[in-house]
Amino acid sequence: MPPFDELFQGVREGDRIALARAITIVESTRPEDREVGARLIEACMPHSGKGSRIGVTGAPGAGKSTFIEAWGRMLTGRGHKVAVLAIDPSSGVHRGSILGDKTRMEELSRDPSAFIRPSPSGATLGGVARKTRETILICEAAGYDHILIETVGVGQSETAVQAMTDLFLLLLLPGAGDALQGIKRGIVEMADMVVINKADGERIALAEEARQQYRQALHLFPAHPSGQTVEVFQISAWEKTGLDIVDNAIRDWIGQTRLNGYHDQRRREQNRYWLRESLRNQLTDWVFTRFADDVQAWEERVIAGTASPFLAADDLMRKITGV
């Protein structure tokens, strides 16, 4: 590993190798990397915060990778630098992850103005990797002005995605069933924008029908706290139709929320959220390391059915707190 100053300078100069190394250190669970990772984050913070952070979620097959590649290429063609943080689901059985997003975004991965970082979600809920928030800061310090976060898809709590982005985009399919029955209300309520993808060929009419259904459904929800209207668009990422309309809408959303103060308010609330999340993570790591033997002893009793998880947790808390 290069010296810290050399690594940080490489990040600031936009060196993609240095950026990849920095993210690897921040993601590392090795104790010797944690101090270096913390120093990197602190050094990057004054140079971060100016980019646009967009979360993209949707059910598997909705075309998230195709949409991100098509839109990302549009952005780099306009002189922007795009970082894609693509989160692959980890197997609950084998703990592995395919990490195949670079193959799904072949053209964008070859673009010198783009950086694609696939990461496993691990055991983290929210469809994001545990260090995604820190990775955003490093990418912004490296000069990337558009950070696109592709989640593992609908099914887990998406709160973590919303808590690190300026705009949360929900990608849906036409003809996937009743709009009011086929979506999870909580995810739609968190969405800042809804996009119906694959509006091409024989599915154009279905896409328009779905767009109207979702627009009507969104009227049943409370007003968005930003004061903005949650719009519904239809596109074909494959045919690259409608992308310019969505791009303009995203720019308008972020621009308006910057003007009315919601953008800064949202980021302040996000900072508080991630302070608490970081504290929870560190406390959890400390407990399972410091009291590993006690936890294992109680786990064996709980598995055997001779003690309840609640009794075990109470006893462990008393041991941890000394109360």
Span of 50-54, 102-106, 258-262, 267-271 with lowest mean pLDDT:
102-106
15 & 92 share domain: no
pLDDT of residue 312: 96
pLDDT of residue 245: 97
Looking at the DSSP assignment, which residues form a beta bridge with residue 83?
Answer: 115, 147
pLDDT of residue 94: 40
Rounded CA separation 276/281 (Å): 9
Place of tokens 């952070």: 53
Distance, C-alpha 76 to centroid of its chain: 21
pLDDT of residue 186: 66
pLDDT of residue 287: 93
pLDDT, the chain, mean? 87
114-154 pLDDT, tens digit per residue, is: 999 987 655 444 445 568 899 999 999 999 999 999 986 65
Angle separating helix axes 16-27 and 4-12, nearest 10 degrees: 120
In a domain? residue 268: no
Tally of CA atoms within 13 A in the half-sphere of 290 that contains its CB: 11
Q: What total of structural domains would you count in the chain? A: 3
Phi-psi region of 5 (alpha: psi -120 to 50; beta: other; left: phi over 0): alpha
133 & 280 share domain: no
pTM for the whole structure = 0.86
pLDDT at 75 over 50: yes
Looking at the DSSP assignment, which residues form a beta bridge with residue 241?
Answer: 236
- Quick one: tokens of 153? 């898809």
pLDDT at 98 over 50: no
pLDDT at 155 over 60: no
Rounded CA separation 217/142 (Å): 40
pLDDT at 52 over 60: yes
In a domain? residue 225: yes
226 & 292 share domain: no
Strand order in the sheet with 146-150: 114-120, 82-88, 146-150, 52-58, 167-172, 193-196, 231-234
CATH number at residue 184: 3.40.50.300
pLDDT of residue 126: 42
Tally of CA atoms within 13 A in the half-sphere of 66 that contains its CB: 16
252-273 pLDDT, tens digit per residue, is: 999 999 999 999 999 999 999 9
202 & 287 share domain: no
Rounded CA separation 26/173 (Å): 35
Mean pLDDT to the nearest integer, 97-125 = 73
In a domain? residue 162: yes
In a domain? residue 115: yes
In this structure, the chain runs to a length of 323
pLDDT at 157 over 80: no
- Quick one: tokens of 188? 């739609």
Range of the domain at 25: 1-47
293 & 192 share domain: no
pLDDT at 10 over 60: yes
Burial class of 202 by CB neighbour count within 10 A (0 to 12, 13 to 18, 19+) = exposed
- Quick one: tokens of 38? 């913390």
Angle separating helix axes 262-290 and 292-304, nearest 10 degrees: 80
Span of 108-112, 177-181, 234-238, 299-303 with lowest mean pLDDT:
177-181
pLDDT of residue 76: 97
Rounded CA separation 95/91 (Å): 5
